[in-house]
Amino acid sequence: MAVTIKDIYPICTAPEGIPLVIVKVVTSEPGLYGIGCATYTQRWMTVAHAVTNYMKPLLVGKDVTRIEDIWQMSMVSAYWRNGPVLNNAISGVDEALWDIKGKMANMPVYDLLGGKVREAARVYRHADGRTLEEVGDKVQAFMEDGVQVIRIQHGGYGGNAYEQALESMRPDGACTGAYYDPLGYQLSVTKLFDYMRNRFGFNVEFCHDVHEHLDPIESVRLAKELEPYRLFFYEDSLAPEQNEWFEIMRRQTHTPIAMGELFNNPREITPLIANKLIDYIRCHVSQIGGITPAKKLANMAEAFSVRTAWHGPGDTSPVGHAADIHLDVSSWNFGIQEWAGFKQASLDVFPGCPELRKGYVYPNSNPGLGIDIDEELAKKFPCSEKLPQWTNCRRPDGTLNRP
């Protein structure tokens, strides 16, 4: 007799102050359930609503083993598709079903995906600060912990967003927002890399995230200026709406390029892969719909010598991080994994978190994703309904910019 879906519900929690959405799928088999990440921090309430009011009615009673069929059904059920809200809701269910299947087989998910090709995933950490010395000290601490690749930023994405564009630069009556100065940012980045290479030499690898803050031609220029510093990669240098500029960038620079954090549909990124315009895919796994599409995307990228570098900031839940690591250790073309790390509150709410040791993150060998959630403890960390402010990003003249 088939094991079926008995209930689906979201669990919203914020152990570190960042809203997370976890989906729990309960089965007809007593004690058997799975959890998955559906975290879209900036619109978490909308995702939770979609899980409760659309995914549950659609899927209750379905055979839990039919992961591919359920994913395809969920994607087309709304007719209009491939948006971040529904994709995250679908991801929550998809990852929970992989978790369930692993528990039914008494195998970790990485074995279901073909087995390990490495024991752990090499990660990169994030070093930021108000001064060059402060960033350098954080780099030093990471290096002493065994981290081999570090993303360096100076004063946040775009560089000191709230201070760099001085009040005197704004017109009268300019709107409030997170102001930054594109030229000042570009100049600060080259100074940052010059300082880091002079201090540490080439004994550590660095990457940098533009975070869409520059016009395309400015981003191309910065990529060229950073060539002597040998970046591990140059991250999210263009917006998804500017994909045609990657061909121009590729012709102009040999700096490795990583892209994909804001993509919803793998079809948005496949031309960049097929035309060899990027070196790393940076998708947020829950944003594209979960493990099912991510594994397919990784396999396609392998054929074109493109590596994975899944998005892994603080607004990826520990469950989402666990899913990433299972993909990382089972994908031959894995490149690097972004790693925000966990505070004690997250470790308490999510027992079974992957473990960081000397620059590598290790999955455990428990069946499924190997991670769980303490629902009662999760309730002690409610999510805030406050809208984010950093997304209200503006240039010195007050023009709204991509964040």
Rounded to whole angstroms, the Cα distance separating 45 from 64 reads 26
Known catalytic membership, residue 124? no
Contact between residue 165 and residue 139 where contact means Cβ atoms under 8 Å apart: no
Residue 195 CB contacts under 8 Å (≥ 6 apart), including other chains = 132, 136
The two structure tokens encoding residue 131: 């001064």
Exactly one of 126, 154, 208, 211 is catalytic; name it.
211
Residue 232 DSSP code: S
Exactly one of 33, 40, 124, 157 is catalytic; name it.
157
Residue 123 CB contacts under 8 Å (≥ 6 apart), including other chains = 147, 149, 312, 336, 337, 338, 339, 356, 359, 360, 361
Containing 134, the helix (H) or strand (E) segment is helix 132-144
Known catalytic membership, residue 157? yes
* Location of structure tokens 């299947």: 101
Contact between residue 337 and residue 345 where contact means Cβ atoms under 8 Å apart: no
Residue 257 CB contacts under 8 Å (≥ 6 apart), including other chains = 223, 233, 234, 237, 246, 249, 250, 277, 278, 279, 280
* Location of structure tokens 């039919």: 66
Q: Which residues are catalytic?
A: 157, 211
